[in-house]
Chain A
Amino acid sequence: MKKLIEVRNLNIAYGGKAGWTNVVQDVSFEIARGEAFGLVGESGCGKSTVAYRLLGYGTINSLVQTGEVVFDGMDLLKLDTSALTRLRGNRIALVPQNPTTSLSPGMRVGSQIREMIATHRALPDGISMERRVVELFALVGLPDVGHRYPHELSGGQQQRVAIAMAVACNPDLLVLDEPTTGLDVTTQRQIIQLLCDLRASIGMAMLYVTHDLALLAQIADRVGVMYAGQLVEVAPCNELLAAPAHPYSRGLIASIPTVDGTDRQAGGLRGVLRRDQISTGCKFEPRCDFASGPCRTTPQVLQPVGDVRFVACMKWREAAVPQTPAGKPSQRVETTRQDTLLSVTDLNLSYRKPGSFDRFFRKSIPPVVRDIDLEVRAGEVVALVGESGSGKSTIARAISGRLPPQSGSVSLNGDLLAPALKSRSVEQLRQIQYIFQNPDASLNPRRRIRAILERPLDHFGIETNEMALAAVLDNVGLHAGYLNRFPDQLSGGERQRIAIARALLVNPKLLICDEILSALDVSVQARIVELLRSLKEKHAVAMLFISHDLAVVQQLADRVAVLYRGEIMQLADTGTLLGDSLHPYTEMLLDAAPGLSKDHYVSHPPAIPTSRAVPGIGCPLVGRCPRQVGSNCAETRPPVRQTGSGYIRCHVPVDELASPTVRPGLKPLSVET
Chain B
Amino acid sequence: MSTIASNPSRRFARFGAERWHAAPGPFKVGAVILATHVLFAIVGFFWTPYGFAEMGAGLPLSGASFQHPMGLDQIGRDVFSRFMHGAHIVLLLAFAGTILGMVAGTTLGLLSGYVGGWFDEIAQRIVEAMISIPFLALALVMIIAAGPALAGEPVLIVLVVGLVYAPRIARIARAAAMEIATREYVAVAELRGEGTWSIVFREILPNAANVLLVEFSLRLSYAPILIGALGFLGFGIRPPTPEWGLMISENRNLLIASPVTVFGPGLGLASLVIGFNLFTDGLSRMLGQRPVAGA
Contacts and interface: CB of A to CB of B under 8 A. Distances in A.
Label chain A's interface by main secondary structure: mixed
Interface string B216-254: 000000000000000000000000000000000000000
B8 A436 contact: no
Interface string B179-196: 000011101101111100
Nearest to A484: B6
Nearest to A444: B185
A423 to B, nearest CB: 10
B4 interface: yes
Interface in B1-38: 1, 3-4, 6, 8, 11
A451 B209 CA distance: 18
B193 A434 contact: no
B193 A459 contact: yes
A8 B1 CA distance: 60
Contacts, number: 65
Contacts of A426: 193
B4 A446 contact: no
Contact of B203 (A400, A432, A436, A444): A444
B3 A451 contact: yes
Nearest to B9: A446
Interface in A85-125: none
B193 A421 contact: yes
Contacts of A182: none
Interface string A420-449: 010010100100111011100111111110
Contact of A447 (B6, B184, B190, B192): B6
Contact of A421 (B8, B184, B190): B190
Given A441-B185, A442-B185, A446-B207, A456 B4 contact: no
A420 to B, nearest CB: 11
A30 interface: no
B202 interface: yes
Contact of A450 (B6, B183, B187, B191): B6
Contact of B187 (A436, A446, A458): A436
A533 interface: no
B4 A454 contact: yes
A436 B209 contact: no
Interface in B154-199: 183-185, 187-188, 190-194
Contacts of A459: 192-194
A442 B8 CA distance: 18
Interface in B114-169: none
A275 interface: no
B254 to A, nearest CB: 55
Nearest to B4: A451
B126 to A, nearest CB: 26
A471 to B, nearest CB: 17
B206 interface: yes
Interface in A12-42: none
A455 B202 contact: yes
Nearest to B204: A444
Given A444-B206, A446-B207, A447-B206, A429 B6 contact: no
Contacts of B206: 444, 446-447
Contacts of B202: 444, 455
A402 B191 contact: yes
A454 B2 CA distance: 11
Interface in A229-261: none
Nearest to A439: B184
Given A436-B184, A445-B207, A458-B4, 13 more contacts: A401-B191, A434-B191, A436-B187, A438-B184, A441-B184, A442-B184, A447-B8, A450-B6, A451-B4, A454-B3, A458-B1, A459-B192, A502-B188
Interface of B: 1, 3-4, 6, 8, 11, 183-185, 187-188, 190-194, 202-203, 206-207, 209
Interface of A: 400-402, 421, 424, 426, 429, 432-434, 436-438, 441-448, 450-451, 454-456, 458-460, 486, 502
13 contacts: A400-B191, A421-B190, A426-B193, A429-B191, A432-B191, A434-B188, A436-B184, A444-B202, A447-B6, A450-B3, A454-B1, A455-B202, A486-B11
Shortest beta-carbon contacts, A-B, top 9: A446-B206, A442-B184, A441-B184, A444-B185, A429-B193, A436-B184, A446-B8, A434-B191, A441-B183
